[in-house]
Chain A
């Protein structure tokens, strides 16, 4: 079977829809984060191209490269998540091995949370400094990154509930709470910047610049 990121979009969505629990919501949350990273890269590239040879274009080129790296890692995480899930399913139902599998299964969604936050920070940047014609794309990036983070947080919570070690559980749960708080503020900042641009007349000239 090909890896899920090498499936067509239609086949991946069909695999989600099938009765099999894997791939499921946990794997699916890495995907919107990767979509968000790709949109950030697009807006950064369009902004750099619209205003070449400036400090802004240099910054935006770097943002695009960082977003590409985040996207690659997120796609790899979608795979890791499926493998971790499979290990939980096959682990013996008792003893240390099961706990080790549960602990390992927490890591991919926890990393999706962290990376979504990185994507979200860059979505705010391109919403604020990016070209107005791409404002809806920057906004969509912020929406997807925060949905990805919230989704991954649900998966972390589910996996943590099976873990015996209180200290491990409390520490990880705390990380998620902090990430969600920060994501909430970043999402609001991005959307404020996007709406300001949508209301400005300059945004209506989006295509003239895009072509």
Chain B
């Protein structure tokens, strides 16, 4: 599979809109997070003394771009497991184990999108509050995109967790996602308040 990050925006959207389940919402969430990180870096570069923020945002952008592919690849693995033979009892056991492994692997990329998007959102709040006021609407857009990336990825974590039979594994991650969502809602409001105060 070629890297989605090397596709044109037009081409990627064409793939996304096709019937095929990959790339899907998880990959789109990673892209949204990467765009948010790009905007944070731009605001930071237009503000004195924010080089470290720009550099950190660049790193997050690269990590989120990789997750566009990682999400699709993990999901393909689950689909492959579903196509394994299930004639004999042994095959059934093997297939079931492969499906469970696949789902666990498929939880990981969107969960990482959530944690990276949360950090992007924190940086968006920082540049909204302390960044160049001329770029405050860009900081606001960054916060909105990062929050939608986090929430969109969270839905993908949840549907994959729903298929996992290990209760402990599921509960720990479901709790982590709930927490991330809550934090995102708070950070998004903080960014909004700061942006609106500066635009007034």
Give the B-binding residues of A (Cβ under 8 A): 4-10, 12-21, 24-26, 28-29, 31-32, 34-35, 37-39, 41-42, 45-46, 49, 64, 67-68, 71, 75, 133-137, 139-141, 143-144, 146-147, 150-151, 154-155, 157-158, 161, 194, 198, 203-204, 206-208, 210-211
A-B contact pairs, 23 of them (CB 8 A): A10-B5, A10-B65, A13-B61, A14-B38, A17-B37, A25-B140, A25-B141, A26-B137, A26-B141, A37-B13, A42-B19, A133-B21, A134-B21, A136-B152, A136-B155, A136-B156, A139-B152, A140-B148, A140-B156, A143-B151, A146-B148, A147-B145, A158-B199
Q: Is the CB of B24 within 8 A of A39?
A: yes
Q: Is the CB of A203 within 8 A of B162?
A: yes
Is B72 engaged at the interface, CB distance under 8 Å to the other chain? no
Q: Is the CB of A19 within 8 A of B46?
A: yes
Instruction: Known contacts A5-B8, A147-B145; decide if A39 and B16 are in contact (CB<8 Å).
Output: yes
Q: Which of B12, B14, B147 has the most CB of A within 10 A?
A: B12
Q: Is the CB of B35 within 8 A of A42?
A: no
Across-interface contacts of A139 in B (CB, < 8 A): 25, 152, 155
Q: How distant is the Cα of A16 from the Cα of B60 in the complex, in angstroms?
A: 14
Instruction: Known contacts A10-B65, A139-B155, A154-B137; decide if A28 and B7 are in contact (CB<8 Å).
Output: no
Q: Is the CB of A9 within 8 A of B137?
A: no
Q: How distant is the Cα of A75 from the Cα of B8 in the complex, in angstroms?
A: 12
Main secondary structure of the interface of A (DSSP, over half): helix
Is B31 engaged at the interface, CB distance under 8 Å to the other chain? yes
Across-interface contacts of A41 in B (CB, < 8 A): 17-18
Across-interface contacts of A143 in B (CB, < 8 A): 148, 151-152
Q: Is the CB of B25 within 8 A of A39?
A: yes
Across-interface contacts of B141 in A (CB, < 8 A): 24-26, 28-29, 151, 154-155
Q: Is the CB of B25 within 8 A of A9?
A: no
A-contact 0/1 string along B16-48, CB 8 Å cutoff = 111111001110110110110111011001100
Chain A residue at minimal CB-CB distance from B83: A211
Q: How distant is the Cα of A28 from the Cα of B4 in the complex, in angstroms?
A: 18
Chain A residue at minimal CB-CB distance from B79: A211
Given A6-B9, A17-B41, A18-B45; 4 other pairs, CB 8 A cutoff:
A14-B38, A75-B10, A151-B141, A155-B141
